[in-house]
Amino acid sequence: MRNKSLILEARDIRLAVELIELGARLQLLEAETKLSRERLLKLYKEVRGESPPKGMLPFSTDWFMTWQPNIHASLFMAYYRFFERHTKLRGLELIIKAYRMYLEQVERGQMERVLSLTRAWTMVRFFEARMLQMATCKECGGEFVAHAYDPTKGYVCGLCHMPARAGKTRKAIEAAAAGA
């Protein structure tokens, strides 16, 4: 019994460190591990050399609908759904895998890291709560994050309807889509 709890604790510490390195907020760590808040605060300071930011998690689905966040959120979801279909990864492991792929793509495309791990994690919960859905763009055929209650017929994505100065993002997304 004692051994088992030690093993679980070691697992939680490894997981917490990985999540903190990826930029997770305290609320995510509290939800996904059994470690105490005090313990997590200490780990956070050890890993990042500073205290975690205070404040609530973003609760609204609206952030995912604005132009640049939507592209990044959709890129993450493309990876998420791919690994959901083709691997046995589930839950947090699946989120971490998809997020690492997203980060690689962002680095390759020299883009800004718009989607944080905490946002990605929150988004998956929005999908599970059926507050979000994927919509297929009628122009490019790509799949994008949309509100669950919006009609998806005739949907046109942010890349097909793009602000003039976003060419770099587009190129990187297209490269990602071709590679996936």
Q: What are the binding residues for Zn(2+)?
A: 137, 140, 157, 160
Q: Given the rule CB under 5 A, which of 37-45, 102-110, 113-121, 150-158 is the region that contacts Zn ion?
A: 150-158
* Choice from 17, 131, 140, 177 touching Zn ion (CB under 5 A): 140
The 155-174 contact track toward Zn ion, x by CB under 5 A, reads --x--x--------------
Q: In whole angstroms, give the CA distance from residue 17 to residue 24.
A: 9
Give the relative orientation of helices 37-48 and 2-21 as an angle to the nearest 10 degrees: 40
Cβ proximity to Zn ion, 47 vs 140, nearer residue: 140
For residue 137, state whether it binds Zn ion (rule: CB under 5 A). yes
User: In a 3-state reduction of DSSP, which class is residue 99?
Assistant: helix
| CA–CA gap between residue 13 and residue 66 (Å, rounded) | 35
Question: Number of helices (H) and strands (E), helices first, in the chain?
Answer: 7, 2
Binding-site member from 46, 93, 104, 139 for Zn ion (CB under 5 A) = 139
What is the identity of the amino acid at 115?
L
Q: Which residues bind Zn ion (CB under 5 A)?
A: 137, 139-140, 157, 160
